[in-house]
Chains A and B, each alone.
Chain A
Amino acid sequence: MNAAHAHDAHHDEHPSGMTRWLFTTNHKDIGRLYIGFSIIMFLVGGILAMLIRTELLKPQLLFSPELYNQIITVHGLVMVFAAVMPATTGLANYLIPMMIGAPDMALPRLNNWGFWLLPPAAVLLVMPFILMLFGIGNGAIDTGWTMYAPLSVQGGLGVDFAIFAVYLMGASSLLSSINIIVTIFNMRAPGMTMMKMPIFVWSWLITAFLLIAVFPPLVAGVTMLLADRHFGTHFFNAAGGGDPVLWEHLFWFFGHPEVYILLLPTTGIMPHILSTFSRKPVYGYKAQVYSFWAIGVLSVVVWAHHMFTSGMPVAAQLYFMYATMAISIPVAILFFCWFATIWQGSMTFETPMLFALGYIVLFGVGGLTGLILSDAVADQQYHNSYFLVAHFHYALFGGPVMGIIAATYYYLPKITGRMYNETLGKWHFWQTLIGFNLTFIPQFFLGIAGMPRRIPDYALQFAHLNMLSSVGAYILGSAQLLLVYNLIQVMRGVGKKATTQVWEGAQGLEFTLPSPPPYHTFETQPVIQ
C-alpha cells in the first residue's frame, strides 16, 4: 500500500486523448468508462426492446420469426451482461475507493483489463446482425438468453459468437470481482472496520463473491455447448447419452444468483439515497448487512425453481419451492429498513429520491409476484407466460435499472461537478414510471390469459393488451432520451456548480471530497473514529 501511495503521490497529470482511456489505471476513469459503456448498451438493448414491442403491436408478422427470436435473445443478453452489470461495476469502481478512503483499487492494471474485455464482448453479441447483411451466417443467437440445449446446439453461428461473448464477459466479471474483494479487504482507511463500511460497499462484497461462485459453471456450460456443436461431444444430446436438462441446471445455477448480482449493488445504494434525502441516518445497518449475506447464500440454492415444468422428483419440487419462499424474509427486511429510514425524516424529493422511491414500489411488485411464482403447482400456469415476463421486468427494471438511474442522478454532480437539470430529471422519472407500468401491467394479464413468451405472432384475444403494452413501451423508451440529454448537458458543463457535499443530507467520505474529485484522492488515508 505504501509503495502504491508513494508512486501515485508525485504526479497528478495524466495522458490525454485516446491513450488516457485506453491505458488508464485510474479507478475514476475506469468507472466512467464502465458507466459510459453501459449507457450505450442500455440504448442498444432499448432499441431492440422497441423493435420487440413494434412486432407485438398488432397480431401480424413484421419480421421473420428467425429475426424476432434473434432480437429478443440479444435484447436479454445485452441488457443483463452489457448494460446492468457494467453499470453496477462502474459504480463500484468509481465509488468504493472513495467510500473506504483508499487511493485507488488494489489491482489497477487488472482493472483496466477487466473493462477493455467488455467492448469486444458487446461487439461479438451484435456483430452477427451486421455479418448477416453481408450474407455471412444467418444472424445473431436466436435461442432466447437462456440458450437451452439442444436448440442452442442446432443454432447458427450466432450461438458461437454468443459463447465467446460469454467467455469475455465472464473473464471481465471475475477480474473486477477479485479486484473489488481485494480492495475491500486490504485498502480500507485506518479505523474503518468491516461493520463501519458504507452499505454499498457491503452489497458489492457479497455480489463479488456470488460472481466468483457462479460464473465458472456457466463458462463450463457454454464450453460443453461449444464442444457439442463442433467437436462431436454429446453433453446435451440424449441420443448420445447426454442430458438436455443438465444445461438447464448449469444455466440456472448461474442464472438465479445472477438476478441478485444485478440487484444487490442497487439495494446497497438505496440506503445512501434514502438517508440523504430524508436527512436521517440509515436504519438497521446490521440487519441489512446480514440480509445481504442471507440473500447471497440462499440465491445459490434455489436455482431449480426456474425448472418446475422440466420434470422433477416431488422432493426436489418441495425443496426448491420452500427454499425460494425463504428469500422473501431477508428481502422483506431490506424493505422494512428502507421504510424505517425515511420514516420521521425530513424529506425532499429531488430526482434521485424519486427514482429510489419508484424502485421501492416497482421492485416491490416484482418481489410480491415472485412470491406467487415460487408455488410449484401454480408456477405451471405462470412459467414461460407473459406473467413471468412482467414479473422479471418489475424485478430487473424496477430494481436494478431504477436503482442505477437513481445512483446516476445522485452521484452525477459529484462526478462532473455540475448539477443536472432537475425539471428534466423529474419529467424523466414520471414518464418512466407511467411508461413502465403501462408496458408491464397488461403483460400480467396477458400471461394469465395464456399468452406464452417469445412468440412473434399471437392469437386475437391478446391484441388489445399487447397494443397497450407497446404504447407504454414507446413512452418508457422515449423517456430514457431525457436522461441521455440531461447527461450530455452536464458533460458539456451546463448547470450550476455542485458543492462538496452536493446534497444537504449527504454523508460519507466521498462527500468530503471536492466536486468533481481530483484525479487522485486519499493519497493520505483519512482516519475513521
Chain B
Amino acid sequence: MSARKVLALLSGLGLAALVAPDAAYARYPWEFPTPVTPVAKETLWVHNIFLTFISVVFVVVLSIMLYSLFFHRKSRGAMPATFTAPRTKLQFVLSAIPFLILAFVDYVVMGIPAYHAVLAMANTRADAQMVVKVTGMQWKWQYQYPGLHIKYYSSISTPQAQIHDQEPKNKNFLRQVNHPLVLPVNEKIRVILMSKDVIHSWWVPAFGVKEDSIPGFLRETWVKIDKPGVYRGQCAELCGVGHAFMPIVVDAVSDDQFKQWVAQEQSREQTVRAQQAAATAVTYTKAQLVTMGQKVFTANCAACHQANGMGIPGTFPPIASGQPFSAAPNMIAALRKRGFITPGGKIVEGPVVDHINIVLQGIAGTPMPAFSSSLSNEDIAAAVTFERNDFGNHTGDVIQPAEVQAARAATQKP
C-alpha cells in the first residue's frame, strides 16, 4: 500500500513538471547573482571556497561511513571489535588530526579573509563620495540624496491584477518599482538606513549587502558598483502583510547619466512643487475628487484599510461607517478622542479637520503613518473626499486642496 502511495506521488511529481507554469520566465539559479561590488565579490569567493571545503568533507566522511556500512555488517560475518577509545599514543595523535584540520580551516582559511572582509565592510566612510539615505516603511522605501535635495518614495509597481492572477505575470513580477534608486557606477556610496515603523532589511543580492533598517537607529553599509545595469532585490525582514511586496530596484548608471538624472530630478521636483502650489489653488468638483481619491486610496491606503474599506479586524479600522471595530486600547482611545468611533464600538465619520489631520500626521503609537511628506494637498483632499463619500458613507463633504494646506499651516504654528 505504501509502495503504491510513493509511486502515485512520484508520478505526480512528473506530472507537475510537465504542467509547470510560467516556464518561459524561469531561469535556473545555481549561483549567486553576478557580483558587482567588492563586498559581493568577496562573499562569492568565500562562498565558493567554503562550499568546496564542506563538499569535500561531506563526500570523504560519507565515503568512510558507506565503506563501514558495507564491510562491517553482520550479514557479511563481521565480528564486532571492542575498542572504546584511542589505545596508543599514535592513535591518539591520529584521531586529533581531523579536528586540527577543522580548526585550521575555521580560523585560518576562513577566519583570516573573514577578518579583512568584516573590516572592509564596516569601513563605510573612508573615500565615500556620496551618501544615500534609505528609509524603510510599511511597505515601501524612501530614497534621499541629502547633498542633492532629492527625495522620493519607491514602491512596487506590479499591478494588483497580476498578483491576483487576473492577468499574465510579467518577467519582473514583484520586482519592479515606480521609481528606482539611481546610483552612479565606480563611486563608493555610503548607504544610511533608517526605518519609520518596524524593522526592514535592505537586500540587493548582486551587491552582497543586506542591512536592517531599524526604527530609531541609523545603520550603515556601502556599495561601489562596477557595472552599469538594473539590480533587483527585496525586503528581507518580515515587516507585516506587505513584506513580500516591497522590492528594491537599483539603476546603476554612468557618471554622466547620473548627473543628467540629478538635473532632471531636481527640475522635476521644482515643477512638481509648482504644480502642487497651483493645484492647491484649484477648486475641484466632487466627482473629480472622488475619481482622483479612489486612485490615491488604492495606492496608499488599501493595503491596510482594504480595497472594500472594511479594514482588518483588531488592527486596521474600517473606513465604512457603522462597522464594528475593536483593537488595542491606544488605537481605540485615539479614534474616540477624534470622534471616529461610537461608545458602542462602531466606526463613524468624525469631523473633517480631524480626518485631514489623521492623514497628514498619522496617529502616534498606532500603525497609522503620516502622509504629510508623501502625499500632496491635492492627493489628500481627494482621498479624504473619496473616503467620506464611498464605502456606504454619504457625508456629502467636498474637501478642497486649500483646506489641506490650511491644516498643514495650522500644525506648523508653534
A157 surroundings in chain B (CB, below 8 A): 314
Binary contact readout A296-327 vs B (1 if CB under 8 angstroms, 0 otherwise): 00000000000001110010011001100110
- Please judge, given known A-B contacts A445-B29, A464-B26, whether A59 and B236 are in contact too, CB under 8 Å: no
Chain A: minimal CB distance from B173 (Å): 5
- Please judge, given known A-B contacts A230-B328, A317-B118, whether A460 and B26 are in contact too, CB under 8 Å: yes
A371: CB under 8 A from chain B? yes
A137: CB under 8 A from chain B? yes
Chain A: minimal CB distance from B231 (Å): 10
CB pair A378 B81 closer than 8 Å: no
Distance between Cα atoms of A427 and B234 in the complex (Å): 41
Distance between Cα atoms of A245 and B171 in the complex (Å): 37
Chain B: minimal CB distance from A169 (Å): 22
- Please judge, given known A-B contacts A244-B216, A378-B50, whether A345 and B80 are in contact too, CB under 8 Å: yes
CB pair A154 B244 closer than 8 Å: no
Distance between Cα atoms of A456 and B234 in the complex (Å): 13
B163 surroundings in chain A (CB, below 8 A): 61, 457
Say which residue of A144, A344, A365, A377 sits within 8 Å of B78 (CB atoms). A344
Binary contact readout A349-376 vs B (1 if CB under 8 angstroms, 0 otherwise): 1000000010011001100110110011
CB pair B74 A279 closer than 8 Å: yes
- Please judge, given known A-B contacts A137-B314, A281-B84, A424-B2, whether A385 and B243 are in contact too, CB under 8 Å: no
- Please judge, given known A-B contacts A309-B201, A311-B214, whether A339 and B111 are in contact too, CB under 8 Å: no
CB pair B212 A378 closer than 8 Å: no
CB pair B110 A314 closer than 8 Å: no
CB pair B214 A279 closer than 8 Å: no
CB pair B212 A311 closer than 8 Å: yes
Distance between Cα atoms of A285 and B83 in the complex (Å): 11
A229: CB under 8 A from chain B? yes
Chain A: minimal CB distance from B75 (Å): 7
CB pair B211 A311 closer than 8 Å: yes
- Please judge, given known A-B contacts A314-B118, A346-B74, A368-B58, whether A243 and B216 are in contact too, CB under 8 Å: yes
Binary contact readout B221-259 vs A (1 if CB under 8 angstroms, 0 otherwise): 000000000001111111111111100000000000000
B214 surroundings in chain A (CB, below 8 A): 238, 244-245, 310-311
CB pair A377 B42 closer than 8 Å: yes
Which of B97-105, B343-351, B371-379, B390-398 participates in binding chain A? B97-105
B9: CB under 8 A from chain A? yes
Q: Which of B43, B84, B171, B217 has the most CB of A within 10 A?
A: B84
Distance between Cα atoms of A21 and B106 in the complex (Å): 50
A332 surroundings in chain B (CB, below 8 A): 98-99, 102
Question: CB-nearest residue of chain B relative to A287?
Answer: B85
A482: CB under 8 A from chain B? yes
B234 surroundings in chain A (CB, below 8 A): 452, 455
B364 surroundings in chain A (CB, below 8 A): 239
Chain A: minimal CB distance from B220 (Å): 8
B51 surroundings in chain A (CB, below 8 A): 372
A488: CB under 8 A from chain B? no
CB pair B50 A371 closer than 8 Å: yes
CB pair B32 A347 closer than 8 Å: no
Distance between Cα atoms of A135 and B212 in the complex (Å): 35
Which residues 445-475 in A have Cβ within 8 Å of B in the complex? 445-446, 448-450, 452-461, 463-465, 467, 471, 474-475
A89: CB under 8 A from chain B? no
A445 surroundings in chain B (CB, below 8 A): 29-30
Size class of the contact patch on chain A: 35 or more
Say which residue of A230, A287, A344, A380 sits within 8 Å of B80 (CB atoms). A344
Chain A: minimal CB distance from B350 (Å): 23
CB pair B62 A143 closer than 8 Å: no
A343: CB under 8 A from chain B? yes
B409: CB under 8 A from chain A? no
Which residues 38-88 in A have Cβ within 8 Å of B in the complex? 58-61, 64-66, 69
CB pair A244 B16 closer than 8 Å: no
Say which residue of B72, B110, B314 sits within 8 Å of A342 (CB atoms). B72
B121 surroundings in chain A (CB, below 8 A): 377, 380
Question: CB-nearest residue of chain B relative to A245?
Answer: B214
B220 surroundings in chain A (CB, below 8 A): 311
Distance between Cα atoms of A482 and B9 in the complex (Å): 15
B295: CB under 8 A from chain A? no
Which residues 216-257 in A have Cβ within 8 Å of B in the complex? 229-230, 232, 237-239, 242-245
A342 surroundings in chain B (CB, below 8 A): 65, 68-69, 72
CB pair B328 A284 closer than 8 Å: no
CB pair B73 A348 closer than 8 Å: yes
Q: Which of B26, B51, B75, B119 has the most CB of A within 10 A?
A: B26
Chain A: minimal CB distance from B165 (Å): 5
A398: CB under 8 A from chain B? no
CB pair B72 A378 closer than 8 Å: no
CB pair B22 A59 closer than 8 Å: yes
A478: CB under 8 A from chain B? yes
CB pair A380 B43 closer than 8 Å: yes
Distance between Cα atoms of A529 and B9 in the complex (Å): 54
Chain B: minimal CB distance from A225 (Å): 13
Which residues 22-54 in B have Cβ within 8 Å of A in the complex? 22-23, 25-33, 39-40, 42-43, 46-47, 50-51, 54
Binary contact readout B309-345 vs A (1 if CB under 8 angstroms, 0 otherwise): 0001111000000000001111000000000000000
Question: CB-nearest residue of chain A relative to B164?
Answer: A61
CB pair A66 B236 closer than 8 Å: no
Chain B: minimal CB distance from A351 (Å): 13
B6 surroundings in chain A (CB, below 8 A): 427, 431, 475
- Please judge, given known A-B contacts A309-B201, A380-B210, A463-B20, whether A322 and B329 are in contact too, CB under 8 Å: no
Chain A: minimal CB distance from B299 (Å): 17
B107: CB under 8 A from chain A? yes
CB pair B238 A381 closer than 8 Å: no
Say which residue of B28, B175, B210 sits within 8 Å of A381 (CB atoms). B210
A282 surroundings in chain B (CB, below 8 A): 84
CB pair B114 A482 closer than 8 Å: no
A383: CB under 8 A from chain B? yes
B117: CB under 8 A from chain A? yes
Distance between Cα atoms of A410 and B113 in the complex (Å): 45
A519: CB under 8 A from chain B? no
Distance between Cα atoms of A2 and B37 in the complex (Å): 72
A339 surroundings in chain B (CB, below 8 A): 61, 64-65, 68
CB pair A448 B29 closer than 8 Å: yes
B174: CB under 8 A from chain A? yes
B199 surroundings in chain A (CB, below 8 A): 148, 150-151, 244, 310
A340 surroundings in chain B (CB, below 8 A): 95
CB pair B201 A375 closer than 8 Å: no
Which residues 180-219 in B have Cβ within 8 Å of A in the complex? 197-199, 201, 203, 205, 208-212, 214-217, 219
A213: CB under 8 A from chain B? no
CB pair B2 A463 closer than 8 Å: no
B414 surroundings in chain A (CB, below 8 A): none
CB pair B9 A474 closer than 8 Å: yes
Question: CB-nearest residue of chain B relative to A353?
Answer: B69
Which residues 93-137 in B have Cβ within 8 Å of A in the complex? 95, 98-99, 102-103, 106-107, 110-111, 114-115, 117-119, 121-122
A511: CB under 8 A from chain B? no
Name A residues whose Cβ lies closer than 8 Å to a Cβ of B.
58-61, 64-66, 69, 135, 137-138, 142-144, 148, 150-151, 154-157, 229-230, 232, 237-239, 242-245, 278-287, 309-311, 314, 317-318, 321-322, 325-326, 328-329, 332-333, 335-336, 339-340, 342-349, 357, 360-361, 364-365, 368-369, 371-372, 375-378, 380-381, 383-385, 424, 427, 431, 445-446, 448-450, 452-461, 463-465, 467, 471, 474-475, 478, 482, 505
Ordered nearest first, which 7 A-B pairs have the shortest CB separation? Answer: A238-B216, A449-B29, A455-B244, A450-B205, A138-B314, A368-B54, A377-B117
User: Would you give 18 A-B contacts (Cβ < 8 Å), ordered by A?
Assistant: A155-B315, A230-B328, A239-B215, A286-B85, A311-B212, A314-B118, A314-B119, A318-B115, A321-B118, A328-B102, A346-B80, A372-B54, A381-B47, A384-B237, A450-B205, A459-B173, A461-B27, A463-B20
Known: A239-B215, A463-B26. 7 other contacts (CB 8 A): A65-B244, A317-B118, A377-B114, A449-B29, A457-B174, A461-B29, A464-B28
